[in-house]
């Protein structure tokens, strides 16, 4: 999405997850989608003329996330899918490469994956730059840092994008115009609220009168009761002990659990926001799929496929399109010089 917004024509995509593939096909019908494991891809049916091609992507990020200490190591076979990115780069030899992952990729296994990636790209004669960019500094209402390793075969490295010095967008900026919902809301399409949308919201709404994605997980009554005790910006520590008795030791809960968003600040990282029970700033419920998509900067016409759980996973896993757009704008600018 971000590449397209920057003017890149995305000709081919490879996606192995069936639900993500269904979403991709629905929203990007002009792109040839190969629904397969990247390890099975032996040929790319587009010739790289060395002047305008770009390879971009990233391996599954769960094995590099700092919230995952169980399989965050070089022993996790999924983490070595980074070698597939390098294999495709060698096979196709594009003019540009853009690799993305979570910030934790930098430190995982003492940096072995990052060093391997940088060295291999350099050995292919790419000028390599490495950036960690915070989405909140690039017009996304969420504090979300992502790693980008960018290679240029043009001879000169791509300058790092500069973030804005303006105050970051807030949760309210992103979702205040969306409908009020209840725990377990299940009506997919709804009209917009009769409120004046912010400039950010207007950009994502376009000319629509309403949108899909107003789906909220149904939490148990005792979970909703916990929500009522948490102020904006608070978390599980604000919940009375009498309501946390099903936890063996509530003191061991992660600070991101039961976090109620602060309407006047950017969102925290939206990972698995259903499992972490991220709470709406003013309503005692979890976030809807569309609210999370707004906080990720997806346009409202973007239609997520699959059950609510799979939709939530896709939104939480995604690179914010506005952040990706900034990265690809840097590539396009240098390509035109």
Give the separation between CA 291 and CA 333, rounded to whole angstroms: 32
Give the separation between CA 337 and CA 327, rounded to whole angstroms: 16
SS (H, E, C) 9-52: CCCEEECCCHHHHHHHHHHCCCCEEECCCHHHCCCCCCCCCCCC
Neighbours of 220 (CB within 10 A): 9
Q: At what angle do helices 308-317 and 18-27 cross, to 10 degrees?
A: 80
Block residue for tokens 């303006």:
166
The residue ranges of DSSP E strands in the chain, in sequence order, are 12-14, 32-34, 54-57, 96-102, 127-134, 145-152, 190-191, 210-211
The pTM assigned to this predicted structure is 0.92
Instruction: Return per-residue pLDDT of the chain as tens, 337 residues.
Output: 999 999 999 999 999 999 999 999 999 999 999 999 999 999 888 876 656 899 999 887 554 455 544 554 455 656 678 889 999 999 999 999 999 998 888 876 677 889 989 999 999 999 999 999 999 999 999 999 999 999 999 888 888 999 987 899 999 999 999 999 999 999 999 999 877 899 999 999 999 999 999 999 999 999 999 999 999 999 999 999 899 887 767 666 766 789 999 999 999 999 888 888 999 999 999 999 999 999 999 999 999 999 999 999 999 999 999 999 999 999 999 888 7
Domains and CATH numbers, the chain: 2-165+320-336 (3.40.50.150)
Check: CB of residue 311 under 8 Å from CB of residue 302.
no
Residues 180, 322, 316, 261, Cα dihedral to 10°: -50
Which residue in 232, 218, 204 sits closest to 293, CA to CA? 204
Give the separation between CA 20 and CA 250, rounded to whole angstroms: 35
Which residues carry out catalysis?
61
């Amino acid at each position: 999405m971000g590449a397209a917004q920057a003017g890149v024509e995305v000709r081919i995509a490879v996606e192995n997850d069936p639900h993500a593939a269904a979403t991709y096909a629905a929203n990007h019908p002009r792109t040839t989608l190969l629904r397969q494991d990247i390890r099975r891809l032996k040929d790319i049916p587009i010739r790289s003329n060395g002047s305008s091609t770009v390879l971009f992507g990233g391996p599954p990020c769960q094995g590099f996330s700092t919230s995952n200490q169980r399989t965050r190591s070089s022993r996790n076979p999924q983490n070595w899918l980074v070698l597939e990115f390098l294999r495709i780069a060698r096979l196709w030899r594009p003019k540009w490469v853009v690799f993305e992952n979570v910030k934790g990729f930098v430190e995982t296994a003492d940096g072995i994956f990052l060093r391997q990636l940088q060295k291999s790209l350099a050995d292919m004669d790419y000028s390599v730059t490495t950036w960690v960019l915070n989405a909140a500094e690039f017009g996304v209402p969420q504090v979300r840092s992502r790693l980008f390793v960018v290679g240029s075969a043009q001879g000169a490295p791509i300058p790092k994008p500069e973030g804005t010095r303006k105050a970051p967008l807030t949760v309210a900026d992103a979702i205040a115009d969306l409908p009020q919902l209840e725990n377990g809301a299940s009506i997919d399409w709804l009209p917009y609220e009769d409120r004046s949308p912010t400039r950010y919201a207007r950009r994502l709404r376009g000319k629509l009168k309403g949108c899909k994605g107003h789906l909220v997980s149904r939490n148990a009554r005792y979970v909703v009761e916990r929500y009522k005790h948490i102020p904006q910006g608070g978390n599980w520590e604000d919940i009375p002990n009498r309501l946390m008795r099903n936890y063996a030791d509530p003191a061991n809960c992660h600070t991101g659990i039961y976090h109620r968003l602060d309407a006047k600040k950017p969102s925290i990282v939206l990972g698995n926001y259903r499992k972490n029970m991220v709470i709406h700033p003013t309503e005692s419920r979890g976030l809807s799929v569309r609210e999370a998509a707004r906080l990720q900067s997806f346009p409202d016409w973007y239609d997520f496929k699959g059950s609510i759980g799979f939709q939530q996973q896709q939104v939480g896993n995604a690179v914010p399109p506005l952040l990706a757009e900034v990265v690809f704008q840097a590539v396009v600018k240098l390509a035109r010089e």
